[in-house]
Structure 1
Amino acid sequence: MARIGYARVSTLDQDLDLQVERLKAEGCSIVRSEKVSGGSREGRVELETVIQFLRPGDDLVVARLDRLGRDTRDVLNIIHECEGRGAFVTVLDPHVSTRGEMGQIILTVLGMVAQMERRFIKERQRDGIDRAKAAGIYQGGRSRIDRSEVRRLRAAGLGPAAIARQMGCSRMQVYRLLSDD
């Protein structure tokens, strides 16, 4: 029986260290992590790897339920897949495990709360943007890629893939920036 940890943050500038340390302290022999939104399962390669790796009796451990997912259906599907492999899911904060019947019920309720919290965050964000637009102070999100550097690299003869590698972003982002010009 192995304890396998899964850590996730939503954006590249967030830090995984606290989650990883906590999972290791809880006895996770393997910890997989990724920086990707938890809004859906799409693009969550490390989570998929962990699930495929699970064997009967193993325990998938996450620091908080929202690290597993922000949508109740996704969380329940992940738990169902783990159980289908004979494995368990343990959430450290609050400490809940699918090893017992009450754990299943509590995780379902917590999944619903996580989804509701996500909706509230989006509503507050939308309200704030609407107020800022009405006041004429909305400036949009900050640019994460230096557009002038992308243009300079392109002018120097680099292709989109090489630019993406050098800038630490996806080719699609480079294509979008170049098509905006």
Structure 2
Amino acid sequence: MNVKRGTEITVCGYARASTIGQELEAQVQMLEQNGASVIYKEKFTGTKTGRPLFNELLNVLKEGDTPMVTKLDCFARSASQGSDLIKDLISKEVKGRRGADIEVGYHPI
């Protein structure tokens, strides 16, 4: 999903299912209901850290953007991985609605 965006702040959602048979629609609806204007949808195992569309999302985030997931396991598989991702986002000055929060649904962590 190559996204071309201007300079506006964007809420970028990420929905992931682990298997082809699982549906993403409930996650997509929740992301849309909570303001995601761009949604990356991926069916990829959560046991691997190299998720192609998630990595693309991380690469396009710019200062002020808000990344959003519906479940923590879509963001990170462990506390240490989550901590590393948050540090990377803070270094890029990606900020949620409350500083450098990552939003889970509509509840900031």
Which residue is equivalent to 2:54?
47
Q: Is the 8 A contact 1:40 1:69 kept in 2?
A: no
Calculate the TM-score normalised by the size of structure 2: 0.79
Structure 2 regions of 5+ residues with no counterpart?
1-8, 96-101
Which residue is equivalent to 2:26?
18
| Count of aligned pairs | 95
SS at match of 2:39: strand
Aligned-partner Cα distance in 2 for 1:2–1:86:
13
Which residue is equivalent to 1:32?
40
SS at match of 1:61: strand
Aligned-partner Cα distance in 2 for 1:81–1:39:
20
- Measured on the aligned residues, the alpha-carbon RMSD in Å equals 1.4
Higher relative contact order (CA closer than 8 Å, sequence separation 6+) = 2
Calculate the TM-score normalised by the size of structure 1: 0.49
Aligned-partner Cα distance in 2 for 1:38–1:78:
15
Structure 2 residue 68 is the aligned partner of structure 1 residue 68: no
Aligned-partner Cα distance in 2 for 1:9–1:71:
17
Amino acid across the alignment from 2:54: L
Structure 2 residue 91 is the aligned partner of structure 1 residue 58: no
Identity of aligned residues (%): 28
Aligned-partner Cα distance in 1 for 2:54–2:27:
15
Amino acid across the alignment from 1:55: K
Aligned-partner Cα distance in 2 for 1:80–1:6:
19
Output aligned runs, 1:124-135, within 5 Å: none
Cα drift, residue 13 of structure 1: 0.7
Task: Flag the structure with larger Rg.
Answer: 1
